[in-house]
């Protein structure tokens, strides 16, 4: 889970010790990570953790107090226009010109790119399934359609890296699935690296290859998604009678003393591989088991794990 990898790895996007404060409040402190070509990288943290501030620095909207951003090896600050050729992005929300049609919006941003970007409009509209609504003003679009138009816009310049800020925000489950599917396709079929921020663990888990966790402006951990999740297992909840007896038995298997949550409900941190054993011991000990459940590890629990008990 080391953050310091060498820059010679050919990262398409690299944050190098970014720090930013607003007045006396340190919004981002010493944040570093690297995004490799073709991978989907998740930037996970609760609201207010510094995700959007970091993204603003990644795309040059805000200037870091210290540290720097490299895109395809170019220093973003010194070589803004050339570095941004490699980037497509949506920051915070997909705000496009609402009084223009979808096509006019795409033409507008294609003109800022030159290089035949206008010739890609039809293809991209098909990709995001908007070709039938392209002549209508954006003010008539749903949030999901605007999100898709935003992605089409971001892809106009054939970028090497796509930076998306909370792409699932405000979308219904179907919309979230569509966007997730699209992101995975872009990474696998076109080899585009995707950097996406989210406060939802499940979203990151289902979309990303690697993840960095940010909390109070600092990156706490980074690595492949599954490793992080495995490190933070939620406790097993057992409904059994009598509860006190169950707690006594489970104490032998749990990492910490089990907790009696109700008369017949016990929470215990039993590692996955020891669960069958524990269940046998419970029924041999004359305890009646009504249910066994393990909630998926929540973001909070991952945090508890990586912050060593500090609450979110």
Partner 1 sequence: MNAGLPLVENEILKLFRRRRFRLVLLILAALNGLIVFAQVQVQARQKGPRKEWRVEVQERIARTENWLRSGRVTDTWRRWGRFEIGRLQYHLDHDINPEKVSGPLYTRGFANAGSLLLLPLLAIVLASDIVSSEFSEGTIKLLLTRPVTRSRVLAAKAAALILAITLTVLAGGLLAYLFSGLAYGFSGWGAPVLSGFRLAGEAVDLSAIRALPLWQDTALVFGLAWFSALCVGAIAFFTSVVLRSTAAAMGSMVAALIAGTILPRLAPEWESQKYLFVTHLPLPDIYSGSPPPIEGITLIFSVVVLAAWAAAALLAAFGIFRRRDVLA
Judged by CB under 8 A, which of 7, 21, 66, 98 binds partner 1? 98
Among 29, 89, 214, 282, binds partner 1 (CB under 8 A): 89
The order of strands in the sheet holding 40-44 is 87-90, 161-165, 193-198, 40-44, 210-215, 218-224
Task: Give the binding range for partner 1 (CB under 8 A) out of 34-42, 93-101, 270-278, 293-301.
Answer: 93-101
Which of 91, 196, 214, 250 lies at the binding interface for partner 1 (CB under 8 A)? 91
Site for partner 1 in 114-133 (CB under 8 A): 114-115
Q: Closest separation between CB of residue 39 and partner 1, Å?
A: 21
Q: Using the rule CB under 8 A, is 62 a contact of partner 1?
A: yes
Question: According to CB under 8 A, which one of 38, 60, 73, 170 is a site residue for partner 1?
Answer: 60
- Alpha-carbon distance values, 33 to 13, 14, 191 (Å): 8, 6, 19
Restricted to residues 203-222, the positions that interact with partner 1 (CB under 8 A) are none
User: Which residue from 1, 7, 10, 61 is in contact with partner 1, where contact means CB under 8 A?
Assistant: 61
Contacting residue, 10, 82, 126, 224, with partner 1 by CB under 8 A? 82
* Binding status of residue 103 toward partner 1 by CB under 8 A: no
Smallest distance from partner 1 to CB 153, Å: 7
User: What DSSP string runs through the chain?
Assistant: --S---GGG--SEEEEEEEEEETTEEEEEEEEEEE-TT-EEEEE--TTSSHHHHHHHHTTSS--SEEEEEETTEETTTSHHHHHTTEEEE-SS----TTSBHHHHHHHHHHTT-TTGGGGHHHHHHHTT-TTTTTSBGGGS-HHHHHHHHHHHHHTT--SEEEEESTTTT--HHHHHHHHHHHHHHHHHH--EEEEEES-HHHHHHH-SEEEEEETTEEEEEEEHHHHHHHSPPPEEEEEESHHHHHHHHTTT-SS--EE-SSSEEEE---GGGHHHHHHHHHHTTPEEEEEEEPPPPHHHHHHHHHTS---
Burial of 65 (0-12, 13-18, 19+ CB in 10 A): middle
Number of C-beta neighbours around residue 132 at 10 A: 8
Are residues 13 and 193 in contact, defined by beta-carbon separation less than 8 angstroms? yes
Q: Which of 18, 35, 49, 96 binds partner 1 (CB under 8 A)?
A: 96
Among 2, 99, 116, 309, binds partner 1 (CB under 8 A): 99
Residue 87 makes contact with partner 1 by CB under 8 A: yes
Q: What is the chain's length?
A: 312
x/- track of binding to partner 1 for residues 151-190 (CB under 8 A): --x---x---------------------------------
Binding of residue 238 to partner 1 (CB under 8 A): no
**Residue 92 touches partner 1, criterion: CB under 8 A:** yes
CB 181, min distance to partner 1, A: 24
> Which residue's CB is nearer to partner 1, number 56 or number 210?
56
Q: Give min distance, CB of 108 to partner 1, in A.
A: 5
Residue 135 in contact with partner 1, rule: CB under 8 A: no
Size of the site for partner 1 (CB under 8 A): 33
Is 93 a residue that touches partner 1 (CB under 8 A)?
A: yes
Binding site for partner 1 (CB under 8 A): 56, 59-63, 80-85, 87, 89, 91-93, 95-100, 104, 108-109, 111-115, 153, 157
């Amino acid at each position: 889970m080391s953050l310091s990898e060498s820059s010679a790895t050919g990262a398409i996007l690299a944050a190098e010790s970014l720090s930013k404060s607003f007045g006396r409040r340190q919004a981002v402190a010493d944040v570093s990570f690297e995004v490799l070509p073709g991978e989907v990288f998740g930037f996970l943290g609760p609201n207010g953790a510094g995700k959007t501030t970091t993204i603003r620095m990644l795309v040059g909207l805000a200037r870091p107090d210290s540290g720097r951003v490299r895109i395809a090896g170019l220093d973003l600050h010194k070589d803004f226009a050339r570095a941004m050729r490699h980037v497509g992005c949506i920051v915070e929300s997909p705000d496009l010109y609402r009084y223009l049609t979808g096509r006019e919006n795409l033409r507008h941003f294609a003109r800022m790119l030159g290089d035949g970007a206008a010739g890609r409009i039809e293809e991209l509209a098909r990709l995001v399934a908007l070709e039938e609504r392209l002549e209508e003003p954006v003010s008539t679009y749903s949030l999901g359609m605007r999100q898709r138009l935003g992605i089409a816009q971001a892809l106009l310049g054939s970028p090497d890296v796509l930076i998306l800020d909370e792409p699932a925000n405000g979308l219904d489950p179907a919309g979230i699935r569509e966007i997730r599917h699209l992101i995975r396709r872009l990474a696998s079929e076109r080899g585009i690296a995707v950097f996406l921020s989210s406060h939802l663990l499940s979203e990151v888990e289902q979309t990303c290859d690697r993840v960095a966790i940010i909390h109070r402006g600092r990156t706490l951990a980074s690595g492949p998604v599954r490793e992080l999740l495995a490190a933070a297992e939620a406790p097993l909840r057992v409904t059994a009678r009598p509860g006190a007896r169950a707690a006594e038995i489970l104490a032998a298997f749990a990492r910490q003393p089990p907790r009696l949550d109700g008369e017949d409900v016990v929470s215990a941190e039993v590692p996955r591989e020891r669960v069958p054993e524990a269940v046998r011991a419970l029924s041999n000990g004359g305890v009646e088991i009504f249910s066994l459940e393990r909630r998926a590890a929540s973001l909070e629990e991952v945090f508890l794990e990586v912050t060593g008990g500090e609450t979110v």
